[in-house]
Amino acid sequence: MGVVLVVAAHPDDEVLGAGGTLAKHVASGDQVHAIVLSEGASSRYAAEGAGLLRDSATRSAEAIGLTSIHLLDLPDQRLDAIPLIEVTHAVEEVVLELRPETVYTHTPVDVNADHGVVARATWTACRPYAAPWLHRILAFETPSSTEWAWPLEGSSFQPNWFVDIAGTLDRKLEAVSCYTTELRDYPHPRSLQALTERARFWGSHVGVAAAEPFILLRGRG
Ligand SMILES: [Zn+2]
């Protein structure tokens, strides 16, 4: 049994980026934990929005079968106003406690500044001598955000690791559906149909019916 950790900026990123893969880890007997750094609501909704998102995150975690979800409630869309060392320490504390062998997080190449901060903080928290038990760190895409990164040379999401989620795509969609405030109508990338098409598209890269794509940032055999 392995220990897996997903580090996300906002409630919903963890399932949009890696929901099918996390469900697959759960099915194989791994302990799967999530940290969500920001409350994800205060930049858009009135005060009750954060509570609603917390409920959604809890239900979504249950749908995936997560062992735990840590909601840290840092300010939405303002993680870049916090010294990076503080965000890094918040991630590091959980990494040191859980000692995950596999970590999933954002890519810094993303239109959302919070995603970039979380990617950098996680990368630092998971440096080899700080987390020697860690075998693999991978970056996921966040549909509706990663693809809107600055269109500069070298900035596109180019995955080199694909997880077959044909058997867990339904579970991912069920988990995403818990986030009722974040779902949009098709063809928005955060619609169930677009997420299904996206999984089929990435699956076609590697000859499976559905996949989630990742960039392997560091691996150790
Ligand atoms: Zn996000």
pLDDT at 13: 97
- Compute, in angstroms, the gap from residue 115 CA to the centroid of ligand 1: 6
**Centroid of ligand 1 to alpha carbon of 38 (angstroms):** 9
Confidence of residue 47 (pLDDT cuts 50, 70, 90): low
Report CA(10)–ligand 1 centroid distance (Å).
5
Domain extents in the chain: 3-219
Question: What's the whole-number mean pLDDT along residues 125-142?
Answer: 96
**Mean pLDDT of the residues in the chain:** 94
Share of the chain above pLDDT 70, in %: 96
Q: Is the pLDDT of residue 180 over 80?
A: yes
Q: Which of 206, 202, 173 is nearest to 20 (CA)?
A: 173
**CATH 3.50.50.60 corresponds to the domain 3-219:** no
Instruction: List, for residues 105-114, the tens digit of each pLDDT value.
Output: 999 989 999 9
Please report, rounded to a whole number, the percentage of residues in the chain having pLDDT higher than 90.
Answer: 84
The pTM for the full model equals: 0.95
Q: How far is the CA of 2 from the centre of ligand 1 (A)?
A: 26
Given a cut of 90, is residue 205 above it in pLDDT?
yes
221 alpha carbon to ligand 1 midpoint, in Å?
31
